[in-house]
Chain A
Amino acid sequence: MALLEVSGVTKVYGLLRALDGVDLKVEAGSFHGLIGPNGSGKSTLLKSIAGAHYATTGTVRFDGQDITTAPPYQRSRAGLSFKFQITAVLNDLSVYDNVLLALQSMESNWALLRSRSRQRLDAEVMHALERFRLADRADDLAGELSHGEQQWLEIAMALAPRPKLLLLDEPTGGMSPEERRVTGELLAPIKSECSLIIVEHDLDFIKNICDRLTVLDQGRVLGDGTVAEIGRDARVQEIYTSRV
Chain B
Amino acid sequence: MSVATGTTAMRQTGVRSKPLPLLPFIELVMLAALVATPFVLASRPELITLMTNVLILSLLALSFDLCWGFSGIMSYGQALFFGVAGYVVALVGRDLDFSQMWGTLPLAMLIGALLAAALAAFLLLGRKTPTSIFVAFGTLTGAYAAERLVAGWQYVGAGNGLSSIKLMALGSYEFVEGFEFYSVALAALVIFYLLSRMIARSQLGLVLAGMRQNEERLAFFGYRVQVFKALIFTFSGAIAGLSGALYSYHQGFTGPTNLGPGLSTTAVIYCLFGGSGTLIGPVIGTIAIELLSYVLADTDAIRQFWPVILGVVLLVVVMFQPTGLLGLVVSARERIGSFGARRRAG
Contacts and interface: CB of A to CB of B under 8 A. Distances in A.
B68 to A, nearest CB: 16
Contacts of B231: 109
Given A112-B202, A137-B14, A97 B338 contact: yes
A140 B219 contact: no
Interface of B: 1-3, 6-7, 10-11, 13-14, 199, 202-204, 206-207, 209-210, 213-214, 216-225, 227-228, 231, 332-333, 336, 338-342, 344, 346
A176 B340 contact: no
B224 A118 contact: no
A105 B1 contact: no
Contacts of A50: 220
Nearest to A134: B10
Interface residues of A, number: 56
Given A96-B342, A102-B221, A140-B13, 6 more contacts: A52-B220, A73-B224, A84-B217, A100-B339, A100-B340, A101-B218
Given A122-B340, A139-B344, A73 B222 contact: yes
Contact of B219 (A72, A119, A122, A182): A72
A122 B340 CA distance: 7
A50 B222 CA distance: 11
B10 A137 contact: yes
Contacts of B11: 136
B204 A109 contact: yes
A96 B217 contact: no
A243 interface: no
A132 B76 CA distance: 44
Interface in A154-191: 157, 161, 176, 178-179, 182
A92 B209 CA distance: 9
Contact of B217 (A90, A111, A138, A148): A90
Contact of A137 (B13, B214, B222, B340): B13
Contact of B220 (A76, A116, A141): A76
Contacts of B222: 73, 76-77, 105-106, 161
A180 to B, nearest CB: 12
Nearest to A149: B6
Given A73-B224, A96-B342, A112 B336 contact: no
9 contacts: A76-B220, A93-B206, A93-B210, A112-B206, A113-B202, A115-B203, A117-B203, A121-B340, A125-B340
B344 A104 contact: no
A71 B340 CA distance: 28
Contacts of B13: 136-137, 140, 144
Contact of B202 (A93, A115, A138): A115
Contacts of A73: 219-225
A161 to B, nearest CB: 7
A127 interface: no
B206 to A, nearest CB: 6
